[in-house]
Structure 1
Amino acid sequence: MGAWGDTPTSLFNFLILRDMDIKKWIFLAFLLTPVLFGCKSKAVQNQPSGDIDQKVQALLSEMTLEEKIGQMSQVDPGVFGGIGSVKEAVRNGQIGSVLNLVGAREVNEIQRVAVEESRLGIPLIIGRDVIHGFRTIFPIPLGMAASWDEELVRESASIAAKEAVSMGVNWTFSPMIDVSRDPRWGRIAESGGEDPLLNAMMARAMVNGYQGDDLSDPMTIAACAKHYIGYGAAEGGRDYNTTLIPDIYLYNVYLPPFRAAVRAGVATVMSSFNEINGIPGTGNKRNIREILKQDIGFDGFVVSDWASVEEMISHGFAKDGKHAAELAIKAGVDMEMASRHYANYAKELLDEGKIKMEWIDDAVARILRVKFRLGLFDHPYVDESLADSLLLHPRHLEVARKLAEESVVLLKNDKQLLPLKKGTKVALIGPMADQPYEQLGTWDFDSNEKDSKSVLEAFVEYNGSSNTFFAEGLEYTRDKSTDGFDEVERAIAKSDVVVAVVGEESILSGEARCLAELEMVGAQKELLELAASKGKPVVMVVMSGRPAGLYKTQHLADAIMYAWHPGTMAGPALTNLIFW
């Protein structure tokens, strides 16, 4: 555990202890930007290979316009009409990527159609949100950032890649490196917080972890830096909201993490939902085609966020789907996710002279380049036996535990209450003390709560059932009923120390999970007041997807540990920290 000064944000310091010092972080990032972002990375995936470029150009010369547009289209089988419809479109060269198809056998079958039944045999790239682990879940990215351990974060991404590969995934929509300064915004859970330097460290670590030293290694996957750009600056902390970003902030705050990702060799970048000074991120030619591709030198491909091409209509920036496709292609978005405006209108736009053939060729060349770098043309299929040996491997769980431990932040420890001696009689209370699912956090699509070890489980295993008196008090964090408080009182009466595990459920953070208030929800404050009234030392452990406001509760605890949502190994990690 580190002091609060080891956490990713001084803004968070303000929220919890009213000690804001944003200027020092910006100044530090400004000083270190030339050092960090001027260094060459060992990764070389972003450097074009002459051999690959020759293959790309040769293949490009054989493609029809319809096949080129197909490479620029990504679909979700559930939205597209089912796997049968996807197979037919793949067979006809109308799709270049599929997302949210999981399972080695299922992926191999659709890949077989692409490679063996389509005219040119171009393999698919299979995308999935692998945000902080695949089956083994690590702390949420905001928690990982609090560790400041770049090597451990890199290893966690490498593990996530191996587990994802075993289930057919070869492309993740991560890392999310939006500089985020409003904890009301639900997606702050996915970011590295407010500091450009720390977000850049996370970007480099995760890209290197997912992609390794050689992207063609079958145990690596393509990374995707998102959301380009300024999504974390949403006004009022409201998701998808507009942003106002002067160039001085664009270049010195929001751009450095993406520059770091490109230098680390990131294969892909995702355009953002939000408007930036009135122009949607997906339609911003200056930011994508000029700054990202030309100035920074990114030579991978840009994918839209989910239907963000179509959402330019909702922004009032595009009048219809055809206009939206025109704006996105002009801007430099190479692949459209989920919506079908490229497929429906690109040929018509080209015939009308509203887009250029060179833009389409450039987009397709970028997509093919990534597929060649991934080695998909040589090894398109997945070993279907991998999952049995890789998912939840003991080493994976060990890294998850260690990273969970390093992510925890010690905010308070009066009279050196922590750590406790083994054998201490503990009243373990609170709605997050035995929540194997909720402690995993947001964006964990492929996890299984049965793999997750809760604080109660770990306490009993280490400290003994005879020394652990459990009474959650509240069934869930938003519970306002105090019916369970009598049981809490009885547990405290038998104990020497109270450990209260509070916070927020996983559903309260993540995409479209924005809050107006940051104080604890439900009757958790009343639960802590009850614990504090009994005259015994109180340890408060906060599990949350965002920095919470502890103005009204910090005085009720003698020690405070901020654990974020720590993932699969939350229980063992917290037990190791709380006890000798």
Structure 2
Amino acid sequence: MDEIRVSRRAALMGAGAVMAWVASPARALLQAVGEVPVPANVERLIGQMTLEEKAGQLSLMPSAWGGGAALSLNPASAGPNFQQQVEEARRGQLTGVFNGNGATMAKILQTAAVRESRLKIPLIFAADVIHGHRTIFPVPLAEVASFEPDLARRTAEAAAFEAAGAGIDWTFSPMVDIARDQRWGRGVEGGGEDVLLGKIFAAARVHGFQGTDLKSTERVLSCIKHFAAYGGAESGLDYNVVDVSERTLREIYLQPYKAGVDAGALSVMASFNELSGVPATGNHWLQTEVLRGEWGFKGFVVSDYTGDEEMIAGGFAKDGRDAARIAFLAGVDMSMTSGLYRKYLPELVRGGAVPQAQLDQSVRRVLALKAMLGLFDDPFRRIDVKRESARSMLPKTRALARESGRKSIVLLKNDGDLLPLPRSGKRIAIIGPFASGLHDLVGPWVVYGDDAKSVDLATGVRNAIADKNSLLIAQGSNVEEPLAGGIEAAVTAARQADVVLLAIGESQGMSGEAQSRTEIVVPAPQQALAEAVAATGKPIVVILKHGRALAIEGAVANAQAILATWFLGTETGNSIADVLFGAYSPSGRLPASFPLRSGQQPYYYAHKPTGRPNPGKTLEPYKAHFRGIPNAALYPFGHGLTYGKIDYAGLALSAQAFPRNGEISVSATITNRGKYAAEEVVQLYTHQRTASITRPVRELKAFRKITLAPGQSETVRFTLRAADLAFVGRDNKWTTEPGAFDVWIAPSAESDGVHGQFELTA
């Protein structure tokens, strides 16, 4: 086994960890925009601009010369052709474009803007760089499974390096929506179900994209999205309404956005959903009173794709003019795709419906950010065709993709220590629709990456084993349709093998935007394949491909070993093989709970006990559970095994009580009693027994990732302060209340680990 090296920053993440990111130099970037002085040339430009040119600076459009998969990632748009878009740049009708076709395209448009337009204002070039540019890293949900925020910082930094080399100034990332209903397809882009993890990873990714100098040709502007509570959509249906209390909004959903803003994010994207009856794009309380007034945000707000226009169909705006007025007055500075701002803002200002001072302020914010990006100094600073190819998929970047891939894998089950597999001496059958082939590797929401440049499972396994001829491949079924003769061929291969790798799950088209699922199960043809292969009696390792937590059952759930491998990107096959054959001991932990059944959704570990909790595993009548199953997960948040044998013991508290201005130390001894080195994610949970607002059964307050050699023990110590125990009270303000608390140091949210109690005193 290779010894694992954990960065000091990753190891120390826990209580107070978000503040370490907030205190980073990126925070200083906030001081240069908004209501503070801006460059003199920006003020001069505002004085020279017509209303039409000002509206143009607040209008962002999809590139007419789209790059990669851009055209398939959003609804069809009847926009201009590229030559017409170049003319729009000349006339000052564009602030920029997004998802364009690289440096060549950007150079043509930028030339039109800065050499042929009246005011020579540079364009900004944006893109959906969600989990990589050319080199694709694991989907964000998978990467959160690493419990290493510094890994997310490094992959965001690498993505920025590639994207900035291709002429991109601005990325629509990170997506930080809390997702507690796994039916929702866009959970794949976010940080899972937990607030603490969501906050820490939001801050880490902002820091990775932006760094400390936005003028750097290796950095890009980040965009926190989708503001706010997009992940709370009813029934997990994409674009659906969100109706939650202000307390829940503030305590759960708003926290990761604020962490991203506090870490230095300088743009925010309004979400599609309505929030308690008011669309987020037209919500003044959200976009202005909370974001700017309470949080002090100094950057600019952009709508999502036609988000302003969609208020018409939603019944909140009567027409395009009304939609533009509502969105702009709510605090949305920039309109994406619809064209409503450049069409209607000039006449709205002339007619007095929109104050010119507010228009000028939005233009000021946008131009100030362009200045911070260095675009006025050198509009072509990131546009270099030679640099674009020179930065693409470098060996060090692919190595990082492999590292992040293997750290994102979660070992859910390993009965009889089936894993790791030996590199020789066994015939291996890889069976399933994801056994081989350059498809479904990079995952959803990839504009510029390419499955054809990625490593599939069969190639990764073949690279790892000694006898290349000992490998058998059988597709078995298609993803959602049976394959004629597929099961028969798969059973034949299984019978010839010593062990089966069953590569099943979701295609990348089953997760992401507009991909909500009513049943979060393995598709029926693949389940039938699993049952047939299991009937051979051969040992099975299930290798799940998925963009959400799944409800697995039957032969899939009963397999001897199960790996949750998500969508791992460019180095998929090599990352999985590293874990399968013991080059890396799995260290990932679930960022989202795997339910017992689909019908439990939304299920998340930090639920309320209710007045009729069902203690223990025996189901009691008239208690809070569904028929026939407990109110619990099959594999809970935080769960994940290693190749070691990890033992928790010796909970110790520095005191039995502490005051609000004090602190308490909580520790436990973690021992690896196995024969392999292992990384363990040690998790600290609390529960306040009685409060003026009922509290969840558990809340993650800290975690630490440690490395243990065989036989090694380590005492892991956490410090809790009153602020770590705060919640949003009856007045919708943060508070702490004295009382009794349970505390656990445990390997998952539903594991006992070691358990104790303490008091917070007045």
TM-score (norm 2): 0.70
Q: 1:243 maps to what in 2?
A: 242
Per-residue CA shift, 1:408-439, capped at 9, x if unaligned?
11110111111011113211111112142212
Alpha-carbon offset, residue 304 of structure 1? 0.4
1:534 correspondence with 2:536: yes
Alignment of 1:174-189 (within 5 A): 174-189=173-188
Change (3 A) 1:555 1:110: closer
- Greater shift, 430-439 or 550-559, is seen at 550-559
Q: 1:450 maps to what in 2?
A: 452
Distance 2:388 2:555 in 1: 44
Alignment of 1:372-383 (within 5 A): 372-381=371-380, 382-383=383-384
Q: 1:22 maps to what in 2?
A: none
Distance 1:553 1:298 in 2: 51
Per-residue CA shift, 1:173-215, capped at 9, x if unaligned?
1111111111111111111111122111221111111112211
Distance 2:503 2:127 in 1: 32
Distance 2:401 2:453 in 1: 12
Change (3 A) 1:417 1:228: same
Contiguous gaps of at least 5 residues in structure 1: 2-28
- Point out the structure with the larger strand share: 2
1:40 correspondence with 2:23: yes
Distance 2:420 2:41 in 1: 60
Alpha-carbon offset, residue 531 of structure 1? 2.1
Q: 1:472 maps to what in 2?
A: 475
Per-residue CA shift, 1:3-34, capped at 9, x if unaligned?
xxxxxxxxxxxxxxxxxxxxxxxxxx9x9579
- Give the paired residue count: 551
Q: 1:25 maps to what in 2?
A: none
Alignment of 1:453-532 (within 5 A): 453-463=455-465, 464-474=467-477, 476-481=478-483, 483-532=485-534
Alignment of 1:133-532 (within 5 A): 133-381=132-380, 382-423=383-424, 424-463=426-465, 464-474=467-477, 476-481=478-483, 483-532=485-534
2:500 aligned counterpart, secondary structure: strand
Change (3 A) 1:295 1:38: farther
Distance 1:69 1:203 in 2: 31
Contact 2:18 2:199 in 1 (8 A): no
Give 1:61's match in structure 2, choosing from 47, 65, 83: 47
Distance 1:555 1:150 in 2: 30
Alpha-carbon offset, residue 259 of structure 1? 0.9
Contact 1:322 1:345 in 2 (8 A): yes
Alpha-carbon offset, residue 538 of structure 1? 0.7
Alpha-carbon offset, residue 168 of structure 1? 1.7
Alpha-carbon offset, residue 42 of structure 1? 2.4
Per-residue CA shift, 1:263-298, capped at 9, x if unaligned?
111121100111000100100001001111121111
Contiguous gaps of at least 5 residues in structure 2: 2-12, 65-77, 583-762
Per-residue CA shift, 1:146-177, capped at 9, x if unaligned?
11111111111111112112222211111111
Contact 1:224 1:266 in 2 (8 A): yes
Contact 1:412 1:561 in 2 (8 A): yes
- Greater shift, 480-489 or 189-198, is seen at 480-489
Distance 2:519 2:121 in 1: 50
User: What value does the CA root-mean-square deviation take over the aligned residues?
Assistant: 1.9
Change (3 A) 1:575 1:311: same
Per-residue CA shift, 1:43-69, capped at 9, x if unaligned?
122221777444432332222222111
Distance 1:38 1:297 in 2: 17
Contact 2:174 2:222 in 1 (8 A): yes
Q: 1:4 maps to what in 2?
A: none
Q: 1:123 maps to what in 2?
A: 122
Contact 1:470 1:491 in 2 (8 A): yes
- Point out the structure with the larger helix share: 1
Contact 1:224 1:267 in 2 (8 A): yes
Per-residue CA shift, 1:445-480, capped at 9, x if unaligned?
111222110010111222132221111211x21122
Greater C-alpha radius of gyration: 2
1:550 correspondence with 2:534: no
TM-score (norm 1): 0.92
Contact 1:196 1:257 in 2 (8 A): yes
Distance 2:437 2:147 in 1: 27
Distance 1:293 1:329 in 2: 14
Change (3 A) 1:567 1:379: same
- Greater shift, 58-67 or 301-310, is seen at 58-67
Per-residue CA shift, 1:504-533, capped at 9, x if unaligned?
101111110111001110321122122222
Per-residue CA shift, 1:56-97, capped at 9, x if unaligned?
323322222221111011112434311211121211111111
